[in-house]
Structure 1
């Protein structure tokens, strides 16, 4: 009886403490996860989290809540939440015991070509690839969210989009973080007249914290979608605005491109690790297959005995990352255009062979690691949210504009930012993209192709039931952030809040540098240098929004690395 009373007190304490405004601002003081039984939402922005939880309270399921959060973030988190981008949703339906991967990644326009960003000197024109109307792929977010809602949700588009419309039409109070961000992004957000008019006052001055931020054009777009569904965005008034603005400014998106956008349902990638099953997003996400590949390497070590963030542990972790990212550069691309050797890359025997190549005392230089070694024959400001409902359904969703605020270009009259995802293709095989990732011909630009992504929405199952719902923003670092969240829980026995807050590392093969967050012991860093690692301290790696389900209780935590996030339960 006493134990039950203490559990109830913990639930009440955590739920109340996370509802207070201070918890939105200062996540550094988190010591316990949020706990609930009926449902939980964990996202990067507090107002959007509240929208999602309210949908659950109304009787909506996890998919209804996920779609509502997606549209709300388009209003309250403009740097990554979006209508003009794309992403991936991984959802599990408890009653059917079925997991579905929904690919709503952007698609290259019909006029796109392999060398469209190559300048006369033979190099990539990065301004054209990242800052122009040509940098935009055909957006998939609206189609993807409404596809999930129509097939797996229980509510109507009007019901789940209503909160986002209200936030855009009536506005919301600007936080210090968002006000400072908009001010610092003046040049980027002024690339279009529409953007300048939305993100700055009529006299050109910046909005201040505490002022109400209203987005009437975005509200108009949301109302069209609420009334007419995807048709409004891909064939109706919104599509016409996108095409007109694109063609007027040197873009290549046409009405045919918009009308022909398609959402893909794909088979998730999955593998057993220790006592759990890891299920993740397949290509054109590179995240899922490489999380599995690295787990296949690491299961050959007793990571728990090594100790969390010891030099031996971080060494084998970094070496496994090099091999995975090397293979990413060669084999990963849109599976509708290239044959991706998923079976071979996820083969446990291949993982064991790679583990045998790791010298426990010496880092292998990246120049000595080639894609397919021993294979038998393959924005930073993305945003992620995780949702669980009382029926056992869960959703892990990651979507993006690529760069923070995408290309910085707002569609005239429509109120939303365009992505610059065309830069995620290999504009010139062998040349790094904005995140330093190398790519080959498998990810070359082709019409109607989807660019390779690092987004890694992931579910972990224990005894056949959802155990961990996880994902993160972070550009090229996403894959390694998700990997470490899984290892922290499964190998090191951490609770969800602890797993979200401990220091992380990142290596992506090239450049041959090991990124380390602050908080790792100086002695450990010296030992890593002695093993041959070139270290570079980085401020933050990712921002996980995670839910753990254990003994019919939901435990959730928002990463303390970025302000503004919130996890709520009921």
Structure 2
């Protein structure tokens, strides 16, 4: 493979341990919002709520009020992990016959399902599922929150009133999706110049431009003042449903009013004298757990860094786990899909942690904006296989099967970490390797995040970081076809993780080193 990047360029992110709490997020401004909550005495859950809402403003194409996802919590005083599941559901009025197959070809987006007429399951209001992120945040806050709900949502209101400051990276993201956004007048008005071009600042001069997110600010203000129910019942719900149905979708007020997030017991894996806690059920957790359990059987760590044997073992276990997932769970996401999710991790000064992954599914979701609320809407219906009679087939009022995999790990040495990632099917391998680097090789967070990774996510092939030693690359090639690529800002070949760690009473955080917006902030 030939690329145009300088071989002399080295990218690093510094990790500094602190007695304060830390938020690690894919956008620094959202991390700053969460860190301010921690500095004011808030719990990790308080910071998670504030960060979640802020991310919906500053990284709107990844998540927001119309998203779904999951949170893994660690309560230091209880030495206990818990899970909040706030995944999306299909609308109650959804009719599978409204998504007829074309008879040839495959879907135009993440999943290689059989193609649906007009991509009705991929783009547009017909792809919108029932969102759960606000219910999930509310459920966690009800049990562990210490700060007032309004206080936690208000920073996002202010960010939306200001509008996202666009730069080269937001322009890159928008340009790669401009064709789809242009098909919805309201999405085009929010994200595109003249309905066609990505909104950009200056090239050589400093010319600040901001997205117009004033409608979103008004919606967030109502949620701040009225609490979580203000989204699922009342004026916001009515306006959102009216907009979706006007554009051809079937979301109803009954869908929103009936939605409930759930407390779940974590899927716990005993590993190397410690434990790792993951999300159960229709998530990436079971596949992650299978891979990690098999990795412990595959090899015994030697030394402080992963060698060729370690990478071979990682590749074999991920390959076996994905074979199980793709055959039994109905997940057939393309391994080449771009990151379209956001993850953040939080630790407070007492050691309580949250690992939170939330998503619109595709980048920019359904590429539809609700004009009354300013919300960019999800395309969660695409998670279902449109072909009838399969494990994950389209059906009304059904919870989706997702890839996200937030985890909390406790090592034999008592170090505790919370990590997760965005990046579709690549999430599992990234989270599993970061767990292994920490638990098998004793790495701290900075070492683990800078350690080169591989991706094995189905298809019988390995994608390897070109900075891996030649003996490792040769060893990988001996067990599976291997392509060598560079770690870049877009697309992310090895997912986009974010994590925090507590060791010896001090905290630290780190995000994917190539993420230009991602950062860890102490508070």
Q: TM-score range by the shorter chain?
A: 0.7 to 0.9
Find 2:94's aligned residue among 109, 112, 121.
112
User: TM-score, normalization: structure 2?
Assistant: 0.87
Q: Is the 8 A contact 2:460 2:480 kept in 1?
A: no
| Residues 205 and 132 of structure 1, relative CA distance in 2, 3 Å threshold | closer
Alignment of 1:113-262 (within 5 A): 113-114=95-96, 116-121=98-103, 123-125=114-116, 127-201=119-193, 206-209=198-201, 210-262=208-260
State how 1:411-560 maps to structure 2 within 5 Å: 411-428=370-387, 441-462=390-411, 467-509=416-458, 511-535=459-483, 537=485, 539=487, 540-560=493-513
Q: Any conservation in 1 of the 2:92–2:255 contact (CA below 8 Å)? A: yes
Where 2:344 maps in the other structure, the secondary structure is strand
**Paired residue secondary structure (1:35):** coil
Which digits, 9 at most, give the CA deviation of each residue in 1:393-419, with x for residues without a partner? 111100001111112111122112111
* Secondary structure of the corresponding residue to residue 387 of structure 1: strand
Q: Could you say if the C-alpha distance between residues 234 and 317 of structure 1 is closer, same or farther in structure 2, counting changes exceeding 3 Å?
A: same
In structure 1, the residue corresponding to 2:410 is in which secondary structure? strand
Deviations 1:163-199 (A, max 9, x none): 0000101234333211332344322222322212222
Cα shift readout 1:432-452 (whole Å, capped 9, x = no counterpart): xxxxxxxx9332222221111
| Distance in 1 separating the partners of 2:461 and 2:485 | 10
Residue 466 of structure 1 deviates from its aligned partner by 6.2
CA contact (8 A) 1:291 1:479 kept: yes
What CA distance in whole angstroms lies between the structure 1 residues aligned with 2:19 and 2:150?
A: 28
3-state SS in 1 of match to 2:23: strand
In 2, Cα distance between equivalents of 1:120 and 1:183: 28
237-246 vs 462-471, greater mean Cα deviation: 462-471
1:130–1:407 Cα contact (<8 Å) kept? yes
Q: Distance in 2 between matches of 1:420 and 1:181?
A: 18
CA distance in 2, matches of 1:29, 1:326: 34
Aligned counterparts of 2:30 and 2:175: Cα–Cα separation in 1? 22
**Which of 251, 276, 279 matches 1:281?**
279
Distance across 2 between alignment mates of 1:425 and 1:203: 31
Unaligned runs of 5+ in 1: 1-25, 335-378, 430-439
Note closer, same or farther for the CA distance 1:538–1:129 as it changes in structure 2 (3 Å cut).
Answer: farther
1:59 and 2:51 matched = no
Answering whether residue 518 of structure 2 is matched by residue 565 of structure 1, we say yes
Distance 1:291 1:412, change over 3 A: same
Counterpart-to-counterpart distance in 2, 1:197 and 1:517: 39
C-alpha distance in structure 1 between counterparts of 2:402 and 2:250, whole Å: 22
Q: Is the 8 A contact 2:339 2:496 kept in 1?
A: no
Q: Shift in Å at residue 523 of structure 1? A: 4.4
Using the alignment, how far apart are the partners of 1:422 and 1:485 within structure 2? 31
Go from structure 1 to structure 2 and tell me whether the alpha carbon gap of 1:183 and 1:534 turns closer, same or farther (over 3 Å shift). closer
Q: How does 1:302-317 map to 2 (within 5 A)?
A: 302-305=299-302, 308=305, 310-317=307-314
1:78 Cα deviation (Å)? 1.2
Any idea what the Cα deviations from partners look like across 1:296-323, whole Å, max 9, x if unmatched?
1111233423885544332222221122
In 1, are the aligned partners of 2:188 and 2:195 still within 8 Å (CA)?
no
**Equivalent residue in structure 2 for 1:321, among 314, 318, 321:** 318
Return the offset for 1:216: 0.4
Residues 1:156 and 1:323: Cα distance change in structure 2 (over 3 Å): same
Q: Given that residues 356 and 406 in structure 2 are in contact (C-alpha distance below 8 angstroms), is that contact kept between their aligned partners in structure 1? A: yes
Which of 44, 49, 55 is the matching residue for 1:73? 55
Is the contact made by 1:34 and 1:568 (CA closer than 8 Å) also made in structure 2? no
What RMSD over aligned residues (CA atoms) do the two structures have, in Å? 2.4
Residue 244 of structure 1 aligns to a residue whose secondary structure is helix
Instruction: Find the aligned partners of 1:79 and 1:169 in 2 and give their Cα distance.
Output: 18
- CA contact under 8 A between 1:27 and 1:560: conserved in structure 2? no
Give the secondary structure class of the aligned counterpart of 1:38.
coil
Residue 293 in 1 paired to residue 326 in 2? Answer: no
Contact (CA 8 Å) 1:115, 1:428: kept in 2 or not?
A: no
Distance 1:472 1:304, change over 3 A: same
Count of residues paired in the alignment: 488
User: Equivalences for 1:36-47 in 2 at 5 Å?
Assistant: 36-47=18-29
**Aligned residue number for residue 352 of structure 1:** none
2:32 is paired with a residue of what secondary structure? helix
* Residue matched to 2:341: 382
> Unaligned regions of 5+ residues in structure 2, if any?
1-8, 105-113, 202-207, 332-337, 488-492
Find the aligned partners of 1:226 and 1:145 in 2 and give their Cα distance.
Answer: 13
Shift of 1:213: 3.2
Equivalent residues in 2 for 1:357-396 (5 A)?
380-396=339-355
Give the aligned partner of residue 4 of structure 2. Answer: none
Residue 425 of structure 1, CA deviation: 1.9
The DSSP-based 3-state class of the residue aligned with 1:475 is: coil
* Deviation (angstroms), 1:29: 2.7
Whether the 8 Å CA contact 2:414–2:503 is kept in 1: the answer is no
Tell me if structure 2 keeps the 8 A contact 1:171–1:214. Answer: yes
* Structure-1-length-normalised TM-score: 0.80
Find the residue that maps to 1:233 and give its secondary structure: helix
Relative distance call for 1:447 and 1:333 in structure 2 (3 A) is: farther
Taking structure 1 as reference, are residues 407 and 463 closer, same or farther at Cα in structure 2, changes over 3 Å only? same
Task: Quote the Cα distance in structure 1 between the aligned partners of 2:289 and 2:436.
Answer: 12
Shift of 1:124: 2.8
Query: In structure 2, how many angstroms separate the alpha carbons of the residues matched to 1:47 and 1:290?
Result: 32
SS in 1 for 2:460: coil
**Does structure 1 conserve the Cα–Cα contact (< 8 Å) formed by 2:62 and 2:364?**
yes
